[in-house]
Every structure is written in C-alpha cells, then in structure tokens.
Amino acid sequence: MARYEVIVESDVLHSCGGLLKISGAEARHLARARRARIGASVRVKDGLGLLFAARISNVSGDEVWLELLEELPCQDDTMPLIFMPSVIKGNRMDWLMQKLCELGVREIRPVITSRTVAKSTQGSEKCRRWRSIAMQALKQCSGNILTRIHAPVSLHEAIDNLDITLKIMLYENAQGKSLMALLKAMDPAGPACILAGPEGGFSREEIGLCGNTGFVQASLGTRILRTETAAVTAAAQFMAAIQE
C-alpha cells in the first residue's frame, strides 16, 4: 500500500500524461513534513473517482514530480446521505464540516433558518474554506470520493423539490421516535436526507413546512444537543444502520 496520498484537481489528473507535477502546499507537505523521497509510492486521486498508483521521480524545492504507474479501481465510499445542517457560527461550523466529511457524507447542503445567527456565511470565501476542509478530511481518512459541499441557502429553497424518499428532521420533541429506530424501520440503503436545526431550534412555521414536504421527525434522545453534536451523532447512526 502507498505510504503517501495526494489529492489533485480532476482536470490536472485527466491531462497529466505520464508525469504529474505537484507544487505549493501539497508539495511542501510531501517533501518537508512527510520527508518523501524519490522512489516512494504515492496514491493520487481527484476525489471524483479517479485513482492512480504513482512513484516520486523527482523532488526539487517546492515541486514534486510523480510518475503515474497505473489507474486503480476507485469505489464510491461515501454514504448515500445528504445532510442539511443549519449554519452555525465560526469554528464550530468548520468542525462540523470536517467531521461530516470524515464520516463520508455524500453531500452537505447548509441551510439558513429564521433563527440562524450566522446569516453572513453565504459568501463564496466560506464555501472555499469548507471545500478545503473536505479535501483535508478525505486525505485524513484515505477516502476515495470527496464530499460535495453546497453554498448555504434558505430552508425553503433547500427542501423545495427535494426528490428523496427518506427525509428526516431532527427534532427534540419528536413523539418517541428515535433516529436509529426510524432508520432500521425504513431501510436507509437508498438516498436519504437528514435536516438539523439551529441553536434556537426550528420555528413552528418551519416545522409545519418540513412536515408538509414529507419530512418525518426523529429524536436523538432526551438531552438537548448542540447543532454540531446532533449532526455528527445522526451521521454516525446512519453509517451504523447501513453497515448493519
């Protein structure tokens, strides 16, 4: 098994021929932090389904040259899950994104609700940061497929015309329905969506809107969890359910 892993843009990997130049932070990490040397084995992937076995052919300053040896089979190792977390403030949202990507959530679609505090998080700069976090999480976990992260949108826009059979709304007052029991009963092998609310919870209007569009309510127990805790717990339970 390759000792090192590199993630590159898909268009670069498609057009590389037999050699691939790695530069910038990725090259510095390989050459300095990891002390990679000529001849070392490397797995190169684009996070979208391309995976190559490679070998370091040259290391020069901030550049590392890789010789692509063969294309490898690349299985989709993400969970068939779209997660819709309400946007939360600061580093907590970054942490949430990192953990959902580590768990292998297929898509993350952040939503803005009436009680969302961090409404300014709609900028492209934040989305680029989240996608960078996703890249690092993929490398950390030696995963194959990158989690797709969308820009934040309103709750109404997020759930409108959502063509998924299993749609779950995490709600602390769900009448005795635990998420795990719901997942086991409804067989989550197909695509599913889980929606997690903001710090202040969903409004009455939002609860009604979700119910009218096919969302079923589920709880994570008797304790009131923070948004990021609830989201990671729910994703982990989904992973456990599909593995069973």
pLDDT over 90 percentage in the chain: 42
Task: State the pLDDT at residue 176.
Answer: 66
Task: State the pLDDT at residue 17.
Answer: 58
Task: State the pLDDT at residue 57.
Answer: 87
CATH class of 79-243: alpha beta
Give the mean pLDDT of the chain.
Answer: 86
Task: State the pLDDT at residue 229.
Answer: 95
Task: State the pLDDT at residue 189.
Answer: 61
Would you place residue 110 in the very low, low, confident or very high pLDDT band (cuts 50, 70, 90)?
Answer: very high
3-state secondary structure of 61: coil
Architecture of the domain delimited by 4-71 = Beta Barrel (2.40)
For residue 67, the Cα-to-chain-centroid distance in whole angstroms is 29
C-beta separation of 194 from 168 below 8 A: yes
Task: State the pLDDT at residue 150.
Answer: 93
* Burial of residue 62, with CB atoms counted within 10 A of its CB: 0-12 exposed, 13-18 middle, 19 or more buried: middle
C-beta separation of 195 from 210 below 8 A: yes
3-state secondary structure of 31: helix
From-to residues of CATH 3.40.1280.10 in the chain:
79-243
What confidence tens digit (pLDDT) does each residue in 89-109 have? Answer: 888 999 999 999 999 999 999
What confidence tens digit (pLDDT) does each residue in 130-141 have? Answer: 998 998 899 888
From-to residues of CATH 2.40.240.20 in the chain:
4-71
Indicate if the pLDDT at residue 71 is higher than 90: no
- For residue 188, give the H/E element and its range: none
CA distance 167 to 155: 14
What confidence tens digit (pLDDT) does each residue in 170-215 have? Answer: 998 877 689 988 888 876 567 899 999 988 889 999 999 999 999 9
Q: What region, left, alpha or beta, does residue 136 occupy, with left being phi > 0 and alpha being psi -120 to 50 degrees? A: alpha
pTM, to two decimals: 0.87
Task: State the pLDDT at residue 239.
Answer: 93
Q: Are β-strands 192-196 and 166-170 bridged in parallel, bridged antiparallel, or unpaired?
A: parallel
Q: Which amino acid is at 113?
A: T
Indicate if the pLDDT at residue 1 is higher than 60: no
- For the beta sheet containing 4-7, the strands, ordered from the edge strand earlier in sequence to the opposite edge, are 4-7, 41-45, 51-60, 63-71, 19-23
**Residue with the larger pLDDT of the pair 110 and 242:** 110
In order, the DSSP letters of 78-89 are SEEEEEEEBP--
